[in-house]
Structure 1
Amino acid sequence: MSAVTAAARPALPDAAAASRRLTGWARKVLRMVVTTATVFFITSFGTYALGALSKSNPAAAVLGETATPADIARMNHQFGLDRPLLVQYASWLGHAFTGDLGTSYFTSIPVAGSIRQALPVDLGITGLAALFAVLIGGTAGIAAALNGGGRLDRSVTAVCSVLGTIPGFVIGIVLIVIFSATLRILPAGGYASLTTDPVQWFRCLLMPSFALSLNLAAGIARQLRTSLVGTLRENYVVGATVRGLSRRRVLLRHALRNAVGPALGILTVGVPLLLSGSVPTERIFNLPGVALLTLQSAERHDIPVIQGTLLVTVATVLLCNLVLGALLARFTPQARR
């Protein structure tokens, strides 16, 4: 019995240390949640205020040029635009938390319904683009670091420098010319639901996602290459190699875990850029996403749709950043410290 007790004692400090690390991570995530909620409320108020304080008059736009001042005042009362701004915002945000984002001034279609149809397009493009960026950028960065100073390293650096300056919609046009107009193996536009036809869904989103991913992949590759080159020269990595550990184990278990932090930071910043970059991409590929819905609503001054799409976009970006930040804090030692 004493032998069992003695053998169990050394595990206690490790368990206590793991518990402290988990508690520290939970506190960090809680602070991130509070910060995210604060940013959400500030941004949502700014989003609503910009629409409410704009010079456009929704009532006059809906009624047309023949509307009298009395008709416009009556329509403003019907829309609730004659109330104080804070009262309007509180009512709008309260309804938004229940899923009610209002109704379009021009089509009378619920904004939430329009976003529900368009959001899967943006999420599909962003998700595939992030996946391509991680696979391409991660592979290129690791390969360049392992061949530091060599021909492959210089080639990866040069290609990433070029890709980092080319907008995604330009790459999209080139892909359409090659794979749609010339080879005719991928559709130049359109969209199919994932639940209805997964294969066609992937074929429709392959080119726009790939076009958006290359810029982010270049950033991930550069950051991962730089941090990994420095990490491979650290004493603990050299010591692990001297002890006879395999190169793959040293890379995956020791070096990469400590070097991946900057690359994850680039990915966290890149998610909002993917969403914002989808506006011209959806135009080019004729995809019915939230970005295109927002653009069309802005052209006709449909304030409820603009406010609803911006609110959902902000919430999506903040949620993605929160998840990526929590993963960064959990799996990278630098973020935990």
Structure 2
Amino acid sequence: MTTLLSRPAPVAVAKPDPAPPKRRSRRWIGTLATPVVVFVFSSLLTFGLGALSPSNPAAAVLGETATPADIARMNHEFGLDRPLPVQYVDWLFSALRGDLGRSYFTTIPVADSIFAALPVDLALAGLAILLAVLIGGAAGIGAALRQGGRLDRTVTAVASALGTLPPFVLGIGLIIIFSVLLKALPAGGYVPLENGLGQWLRFAILPALALSLDIAASIARQLRTSLVGQLGENYVTGAVVRGLGTRRVLFGHALRNAIGPALTVLGIGVPMILGGAVVTEKIFNLPGLAQLALQASGQHDVPLIQGTLLVTVTVVLICNTLVNIAVLRLTPQGKR
């Protein structure tokens, strides 16, 4: 750390120029407007996948003995005999009010089924994101401060290896190590957070680790590269010359300018975490949204499929928007 932050050179502090007001306004408008556009497009695509499916929901519900009259009557009850634009608008506005329809097979409201499974995914994704930030952040900062040293080479090698392994491979490896060999953690199952933080963590830590390690590796690589560049800038040298403490220079100046790429990686990693949950939930036997979607796909339960897709897209958009806002607030180009 001393080799990177103590080069004595009488250089004035030169921080990045603030972005012009018009450019800042366009960034904020784009950050807030893009999720709305993506949501509308995603809802249209989600509805179209269900509406244009070759399978007939009414025939699937009634079975092979259904007559054409029975199928026509059921299609009318489902509202499938209306024009597609009318169906889409009605479905979208109902979804915005929290009404995602009812399952064709169980008649249970789709929203009830989704929000019974969603806490599992939110808790797991939240823990995975926290682990990715802590592990990746610590590794990236440590590697940058020991540039060219043993720690730097180790972090680079481990991050490169983890980046090639999908979550289900990591999950199986973690089960073998911590459940089979060490017998320290359960290999599957889930305990709600209401039953106690410690008990919940015992069941959630392995799947969360499996989902987080790939993202943590990407964060470590990006943060290490960006931070090394910032530590070599004149404003860091000037801050050291002025007598600012190492911790203040690192966290108050260099890290603020270097954190943008790592936050972008985190934003990209949210869909990867939710996508990897499909296989991870199966490996660890978790009753989450991914398993609900797989069950609905097997039954051709169109409302349930559409509802899970729409809720997943919404969660991803909210997380990405929060990350983009954090980038604008933390980096000088967006904050000023």
Tell me the TM-score normalized by structure 1. 0.91
Residue identity opposite 2:237 in structure 1: V
Residue identity opposite 1:208 in structure 2: P
- State the distance in 2 between where 1:179 and 1:264 align: 30
User: Over residues 125-159 of structure 1, what are the superposed CA-to-partner deviations in whole Å (9 max), with x where a residue is unaligned?
Assistant: 11000000000000000011011111211111011
Query: How much has 1:60 moved relative to structure 2?
Result: 0.7
Query: How much has 1:119 moved relative to structure 2?
Result: 0.3
Q: Which residue number corresponds to residue 96 of structure 1?
A: 95
- State the distance in 2 between where 1:278 and 1:25 align: 36
Q: Which residue number corresponds to residue 301 of structure 1?
A: 300
User: Over residues 267-292 of structure 1, what are the superposed CA-to-partner deviations in whole Å (9 max), with x where a residue is unaligned?
Assistant: 01111110011000000001011111
CA contact (8 A) 1:224 1:263 kept: yes
Query: How much has 1:27 moved relative to structure 2?
Result: 6.3
1:54-133 aligned at under 5 Å gives the runs 54-133=53-132
Q: Which residue number corresponds to residue 5 of structure 1?
A: none
Q: What is the aligned residue count?
A: 319
Residue identity opposite 2:222 in structure 1: Q
**Does 2:188 match 1:177?**
no
Q: Which residue number corresponds to residue 260 of structure 2?
A: 261
Query: How much has 1:200 moved relative to structure 2?
Result: 1.7
- State the distance in 1 between where 2:117 and 2:70 align: 33
Query: How much has 1:246 moved relative to structure 2?
Result: 2.0
CA contact (8 A) 2:46 2:306 kept: yes
CA contact (8 A) 2:257 2:332 kept: yes
Q: Which residue number corresponds to residue 276 of structure 1?
A: 275
- State the distance in 1 between where 2:299 and 2:133 align: 38
CA contact (8 A) 1:190 1:285 kept: yes
- State the distance in 2 between where 1:76 and 1:184 align: 53
User: Over residues 52-107 of structure 1, what are the superposed CA-to-partner deviations in whole Å (9 max), with x where a residue is unaligned?
Assistant: 00111111111111111111111111100111111001111111112111111111
Query: How much has 1:182 moved relative to structure 2?
Result: 2.5
1:1-337 aligned at under 5 Å gives the runs 28-336=27-335
- State the distance in 2 between where 1:294 and 1:56 align: 17
CA contact (8 A) 2:102 2:110 kept: yes
CA contact (8 A) 1:25 1:330 kept: no
Select the structure with the greater relative contact order (CA < 8 A; seq sep ≥ 6).
Answer: 2
- State the distance in 1 between where 2:61 and 2:89 align: 24
Q: SS where residue 260 of structure 1 aligns? A: helix
- State the distance in 1 between where 2:140 and 2:180 align: 33
- State the distance in 2 between where 1:63 and 1:122 align: 33
- State the distance in 2 between where 1:268 and 1:335 align: 17
Residue identity opposite 2:227 in structure 1: L
- State the distance in 1 between where 2:30 and 2:214 align: 31
- State the distance in 1 between where 2:53 and 2:162 align: 38
Residue identity opposite 2:323 in structure 1: L
- State the distance in 1 between where 2:32 and 2:93 align: 20
- State the distance in 2 between where 1:106 and 1:86 align: 25
Q: SS where residue 193 of structure 2 aligns? A: coil
Moved over 3 A (4+): 23-31, 334-337
CA contact (8 A) 2:24 2:334 kept: no
* Range with greater deviation from structure 2 (196-205 or 212-221): 196-205
Query: How much has 1:24 moved relative to structure 2?
Result: 7.7
User: What is the percent sequence identity of the aligned residues?
Assistant: 63
CA contact (8 A) 1:36 1:322 kept: yes
- State the distance in 2 between where 1:132 and 1:219 align: 13
Residue identity opposite 1:273 in structure 2: M
Q: SS where residue 152 of structure 1 aligns? A: helix
- State the distance in 1 between where 2:260 and 2:334 align: 8
Query: How much has 1:180 moved relative to structure 2?
Result: 1.7
Instruction: Give the 3 Å change call, closer, same or farther, for CA 26–202 of structure 1 in structure 2.
Output: farther
- State the distance in 1 between where 2:31 and 2:273 align: 22
Instruction: Give the 3 Å change call, closer, same or farther, for CA 119–26 of structure 1 in structure 2.
Output: farther
- State the distance in 1 between where 2:217 and 2:208 align: 15
CA contact (8 A) 1:261 1:334 kept: no
Q: Which runs of 5 or more residues in structure 1 are unaligned? A: 1-17
Tell me the TM-score normalized by structure 2. 0.91
